[in-house]
């Protein structure tokens, strides 16, 4: 049978089914177990929810928020207002049964069971925190058809694979005010994350009020810090969403901002000023003076009382040791004590910190560098330097969490992060060792982000890390992940996250308030340079530099480019007219875009740095168009033509404005195939 006959037969059989089938579901994270059933629960304004059992008030507030989100999405004027423990609801459409109030702490039960049938919805949970996770699943299940909104009938039994599923937000390199934290907590809750790690002190800023040592925040923050009242608000907001808050005070390096008000803590004489550059800096605490520990005892005692979680992060990363090496008093002290090198000196410092934390009822977590045989086994190693250190730590009896592979500030694609597993498949850990791997954290380092752009660097990619940490290890289908990520990304905007909508706003400003279509066509197919390459392109970034250029508006991962690359692959396989047509339309748009963008540029100086890249896209698209036409018609363009295009390809690969054009490879594939 001919290929096209087969296709017609296939369509005849499957098309009716496809047309009537419901939309494929877009849950993220994918639940542990899910069974579809017949029918739907149809949502209307009479929808009500009741809560049975012993839930924390947290659950009632979460149900109210869910109702408002449902109402907001559907436009239905729902009759139920604010859900409180006292009110009884007759014949609720949804019944939540909760056994006990949960505790927002490591290892708490977050399981839930959700059943949707045409007659109603049931959510059962051990703790109300499991209930919160189930409510987010229900919100992701909402579908619509010609008859209105509905939830598909199904049953879900779900629980997390790892107990520590975090997002670290650096509020120091660029200050991130309360509203950034709150909306990101909402985003985290939507994808069932349960740890907010706040990186609160750095060379560039000391971002929390200390009542005992007010010079820390007064002199180290430019006035941008969280008051203790605000911290309590953040903790309460997180608690209401089943999220722990872990503070990090990075020591002994990354501490310049402490020394502005307290130069006596440093290993070299001051004065110090708040750091405005990025990188690993020299200022380091002096671990040989008792006065250092006196201040840390007071300060950490104050912080221990403020943050309820048992864990406190002491950083410990990237101490370059230069100030220690250069200080004769420190060198003499080390000699006297028999401390042989800087690693051992830092281990001594950490052992003193451990005593202080223990006294204040806290457990220590720190970056890789704190791992030392002298440390007790109840500390947590936070792995950032490589996949091995977590395995090593687990073998040596330490608990650990993974961030290596989840550095979202490196601007890598979602597919990369998605396939990084905290438990390496080849690690051959015993079940006991595996259990020491508690999970992971996405890290939002803030050198290159501002409150305006941070959401677009966190979301939606962090949602796929959340899935890696929650869903069964077998959930690894990258194409399906992208399909669901796109849906979830749009839903996240209902939580005030602005990762999609700020794009247009930034393009409008870049276009100097002119029409943005041509600029968007270009910005849609560039990505910021990855893996910190942005710092080595002849531009020096400071904390006060503009983060408003095309590179900042551009998304970490171009879905236009991904979709185009897939169409090219399919076209080269099938040589089909439809894919060929779509590819050619796209190439023609890129080819013609340059002339339009030049008109915009005439009155938009801020985008002129992209002129040559736009020209290169047009040239490459023209060659790609010739290639696609030739392929479609079964012609060959020859190697001389191919050699000529090579130059276009090489030119187009060069970064401009710290961005790179990310459709070069698929166009080069077309050019190659046409020779």
Quick check: 367 binds ligand ACM (CB under 6 A)? yes
Contact 422, 469 (CB under 8 A): yes
* Closer CB to ligand ACM, 83 or 251, in the complex: 251
CB of 423 to ligand ACM, least distance (A): 21
272 DSSP assignment: -
- What residues contact 196, with CB distance under 8 A and at least 6 apart? 166, 167, 169, 181, 184, 185, 188, 234, 238, 243, 244, 245, 246
* Closer CB to ligand ACM, 203 or 579, in the complex: 203
- What residues contact 650, with CB distance under 8 A and at least 6 apart? none
Contact 543, 174 (CB under 8 A): yes
* Closer CB to ligand ACM, 281 or 622, in the complex: 281
Question: How far apart (Å, rounded) are the C-alpha atoms in residues 82 and 51?
Answer: 13
* Closer CB to ligand ACM, 370 or 475, in the complex: 370
* Closer CB to ligand ACM, 133 or 382, in the complex: 382
CB of 445 to ligand ACM, least distance (A): 7
| HSE-up (13 A, CA, CB side) for residue 573 | 7
CB of 382 to ligand ACM, least distance (A): 8
* Closer CB to ligand ACM, 302 or 317, in the complex: 317
* Options 122, 318, 494, 611, the catalytic residue: 318
Quick check: 384 binds ligand ACM (CB under 6 A)? yes
Residue 248, classed as helix, strand or coil, is strand
CB of 180 to ligand ACM, least distance (A): 20
CB of 398 to ligand ACM, least distance (A): 17
* Closer CB to ligand ACM, 150 or 367, in the complex: 367
Total residues at interface with ligand ACM (CB under 6 A):
4
146 DSSP assignment: T
| HSE-up (13 A, CA, CB side) for residue 553 | 26
User: Site residues for ligand ACM, window 412-441 (CB under 6 A)?
Assistant: none
CB of 350 to ligand ACM, least distance (A): 15
Match 């934390």 to its residue by tokens: 357
493 DSSP assignment: G
Question: How far apart (Å, rounded) are the C-alpha atoms in residues 349 and 285?
Answer: 9
Question: How far apart (Å, rounded) are the C-alpha atoms in residues 329 and 295?
Answer: 20
- Concerning whether 318 is annotated as a catalytic residue, the answer is yes
Q: What angle do CA 422, 471, 405 make, to 5 degrees?
A: 30
Residue of 466, 530, 458 lying closest to 498 (CA atoms): 458
Residue of 82, 83, 116 lying closest to 124 (CA atoms): 116
Locate all alpha helices (DSSP H) within 42-190, ordered by sequence. 57-74, 128-141, 178-190
CB of 318 to ligand ACM, least distance (A): 5
| HSE-up (13 A, CA, CB side) for residue 209 | 10
The beta strands (E) that lie in 368-464 are given as 380-383, 399-402, 437-444
Contact 63, 96 (CB under 8 A): yes
* Closer CB to ligand ACM, 164 or 470, in the complex: 164
Tokens at residue 129, please?
Answer: 């925190």
User: Site residues for ligand ACM, window 107-146 (CB under 6 A)?
Assistant: none
* Closer CB to ligand ACM, 318 or 611, in the complex: 318
| HSE-up (13 A, CA, CB side) for residue 395 | 9
Residue 154, classed as helix, strand or coil, is strand
Residue of 534, 492, 593, 544 lying closest to 186 (CA atoms): 492
Residue 11, classed as helix, strand or coil, is helix
CB of 537 to ligand ACM, least distance (A): 21
Question: How far apart (Å, rounded) are the C-alpha atoms in residues 456 and 81?
Answer: 33
* Closer CB to ligand ACM, 249 or 384, in the complex: 384
For 640, counting Cβ atoms within 10 Å of its Cβ (0-12 exposed, 13-18 middle, 19+ buried), the class is: exposed
* Closer CB to ligand ACM, 162 or 384, in the complex: 384
Residue 530, classed as helix, strand or coil, is coil
Question: How far apart (Å, rounded) are the C-alpha atoms in residues 566 and 330?
Answer: 59
Q: Determine which residue in the list 32, 108, 317, 592 makes contact with ligand ACM, applying CB under 6 A.
A: 317
Question: How far apart (Å, rounded) are the C-alpha atoms in residues 336 and 428?
Answer: 43
CB of 384 to ligand ACM, least distance (A): 4
Quick check: 629 binds ligand ACM (CB under 6 A)? no
Q: Which residue is nearest to ligand ACM (CB)?
A: 317
User: Angle 128-141/478-492 helices, nearest 10 degrees?
Assistant: 100
385 DSSP assignment: S
| Cα dihedral sign, 627-630-636-640 | negative
Site residues (vs ligand ACM, CB under 6 A): 317-318, 367, 384
Residues with a known catalytic role: 318
């Amino acid at each position: 049978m001919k290929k096209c006959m087969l296709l017609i037969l296939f369509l005849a059989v499957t098309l009716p089914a496809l047309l009537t089938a419901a939309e494929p579901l877009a849950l993220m994270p994918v639940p542990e177990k899910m069974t579809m059933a017949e029918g739907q629960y149809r949502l209307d304004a009479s929808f009500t929810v009741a809560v049975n059992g012993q839930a924390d008030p947290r659950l009632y507030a979460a149900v109210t928020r869910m109702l408002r989100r449902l109402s907001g999405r559907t436009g239905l004027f729902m009759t139920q207002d604010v859900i409180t423990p006292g009110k009884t609801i007759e014949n609720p459409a949804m019944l939540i049964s909760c056994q006990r109030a949960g505790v927002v702490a490591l290892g708490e039960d977050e399981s839930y069971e959700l059943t949707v049938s045409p007659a109603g919805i049931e959510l059962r949970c051990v703790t109300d925190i499991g209930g919160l996770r189930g409510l987010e699943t229900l919100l992701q299940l909402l579908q619509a058809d010609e008859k209105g909104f509905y939830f598909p009938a199904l049953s879900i039994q779900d629980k997390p694979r790892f107990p520590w599923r975090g997002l670290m937000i650096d509020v120091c390199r660029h200050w991130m005010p309360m509203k950034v934290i709150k909306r990101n907590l909402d985003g985290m809750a939507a994808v069932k994350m349960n740890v907010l790690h706040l990186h609160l002190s750095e060379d560039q800023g000391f971002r929390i009020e200390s009542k005992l040592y007010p010079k820390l925040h007064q002199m180290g923050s430019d006035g941008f810090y969280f008051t203790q009242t605000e911290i309590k608000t953040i903790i309460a907001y997180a608690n209401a969403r089943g999220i722990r808050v872990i503070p990090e005070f990075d020591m002994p390096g990354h501490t310049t901002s402490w020394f502005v008000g307290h130069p006596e803590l440093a290993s070299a004489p001051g004065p110090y000023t708040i750091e405005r550059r990025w990188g690993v800096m020299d200022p380091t605490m002096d671990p040989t003076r008792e006065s250092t520990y006196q201040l840390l005892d007071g300060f950490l005692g104050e912080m221990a009382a403020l943050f309820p979680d048992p864990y406190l992060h002491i950083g410990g990363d990237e101490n370059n040791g230069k100030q220690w090496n250069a200080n004769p008093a420190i060198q003499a002290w080390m000699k006297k004590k028999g401390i042989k090198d800087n690693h051992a000196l830092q281990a001594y410092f950490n052992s003193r910190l451990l005593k202080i934390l223990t006294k204040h009822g806290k457990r220590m977590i720190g970056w890789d560098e704190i791992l030392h045989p002298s440390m007790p086994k109840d500390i947590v190693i936070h792995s950032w330097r490589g996949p091995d250190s977590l395995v090593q730590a687990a073998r040596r009896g330490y608990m650990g969490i993974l961030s290596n592979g989840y550095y979202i500030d490196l601007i890598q694609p979602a597919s990369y992060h998605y396939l990084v597993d905290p438990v390496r498949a080849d690690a051959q850990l015993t079940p006991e060792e595996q259990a020491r791997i508690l999970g992971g954290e996405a890290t939002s380092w803030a050198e290159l982000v501002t409150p305006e752009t941070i959401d677009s660097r966190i979301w939606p990619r962090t949602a796929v890390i959340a899935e890696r940490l929650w869903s069964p290890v077998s959930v690894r289908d990258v194409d399906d992940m992208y399909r669901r990520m796109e849906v979830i990304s749009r839903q996240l905007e209902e939580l005030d996250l602005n990762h999609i909508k700020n794009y247009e706003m930034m393009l409008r400003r870049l276009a100097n308030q002119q029409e943005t279509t041509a600029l968007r066509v270009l910005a849609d197919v560039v990505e910021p340079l990855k893996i910190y390459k942005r710092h080595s392109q002849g531009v020096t970034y400071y904390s006060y530099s503009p983060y408003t250029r095309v590179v900042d508006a551009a998304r970490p991962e171009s879905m236009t480019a991904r979709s185009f690359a897939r169409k090219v692959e399919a076209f080269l396989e099938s040589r089909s007219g439809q894919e060929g047509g779509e590819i050619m339309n796209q190439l023609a748009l890129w080819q013609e875009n340059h002339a339009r963008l030049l008109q915009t540029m005439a009155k938009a100086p801020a985008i002129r740095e992209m002129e040559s890249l736009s020209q290169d896209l047009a040239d490459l698209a023209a060659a790609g168009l010739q290639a696609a036409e030739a392929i479609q018609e079964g012609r060959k363009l020859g190697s001389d033509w191919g050699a000529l295009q090579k130059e276009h390809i090489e030119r187009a690969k060069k970064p401009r404005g710290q961005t790179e054009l990310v459709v070069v490879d698929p166009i080069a594939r077309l050019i190659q195939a046409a020779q």
